[in-house]
Amino acid sequence: MEPTPILLLTALFIVAFLYSSVGHAGASGYIAVLALAGFAPSSIKPIALVLNILVACIGSFQFWRAGHFRWKLFWPFAVAAAPMAFAGGYLDLPTGLFKGIVGAVLLLSALRFLVRPGDPEVVRPPSVPVALGAGAGLGFLSGLTGTGGGIFLTPLLLFCRWARTKNVAATSVLFIFVNSVTGLSGFLIGGKTIPRVTWKLAAFVVLGGALGSWLGSRRFPVRTIQWMLAAVLLIAGLKLIAK
């Protein structure tokens, strides 16, 4: 196997660092980088899921340790999302449809970072049935697209005023971990394999995720990072949809 280009490794490190600092694991960013690097759509999904699992595991610990995690907010979304993420991970979409869905996901991610409301003064957590229904839909979409679902859950929690920003980040990153694990399980049970290059990329992603989540859970300002992420996702999303 040829050495992995340092530019690709650096880009993945930066994505992991930036995303983890705002309570995400980076799947949509990894998808963007891998797509721009010319990886086949069939290999992008498992690579993104594995990298997502690693960074989400680190981020979950960091945000929990910083005191931002709320179990009552998290569990209804996760319980419904996990089996649906498995189902979505099992399915294999045609290349054209996959690119269209992932491109749309990236554009929605960009909008999430461009349009970010401040912390609501009053928060009202959703009822259990509402959270279960939302979790099921987000879980299926996360497994289908190879993302952890945080890019959908985070704006939903903020726009509906269901939680404050730091609590949203802590909820989203563990939600991402659960969905990524079940999504990857569905992918593997479908008889597919993880590309060998994944493990070469993992070391750089773990480094970026560890540093970013430590800073983001405690002291890192995120607004500038969100603008930078939005620009990357817009470019990659439009590139995929235009093809």
Give 42-59 pLDDT, tens digit per residue.
Answer: 899 899 999 999 999 999
Q: Are 207 and 89 in contact (CB under 8 A)?
A: no
Q: Is the pLDDT of residue 71 over 90?
A: yes
Quick one: tokens of 98? 């996959």
Between helix 6-21 and helix 223-242 the angle, nearest 10°, is 130
Percentage of residues in the chain having pLDDT higher than 90: 33
- What is the rounded distance in angstroms from the CA atom of residue 96 to the CA atom of residue 169? 32
- DSSP state at residue 38: T
Mean pLDDT of 126-132: 95
Helices (H), 118-196: 128-145, 150-159, 165-189
CB burial of 140-169 (b: ≥16 within 10 Å; e: otherwise) equals bbbbbbbbbbbbbbbbbbbeeebbbbbbbb
Query: Quick one: which H or E segment has residue 209?
Result: helix 197-218
Q: Is the pLDDT of residue 1 over 50?
A: no
Q: Is the pLDDT of residue 135 over 60?
A: yes
Burial of residue 194 (CB within 10 Å: 0-12, 13-18, 19+) is: middle
Global confidence as pTM = 0.81
Band (pLDDT 50/70/90 cuts) for residue 146 is confident
- DSSP state at residue 4: P
Mean pLDDT of 137-142: 86
Write the pLDDT tens digit of every residue in 195-213: 999 999 999 999 999 998 9
Q: Is the pLDDT of residue 24 over 80?
A: yes
Quickly count: other Cβ atoms within 10 Å of residue 39's Cβ. Answer: 18
SS3 content of the chain, % helix, strand, coil (to 5): 75, 0, 25
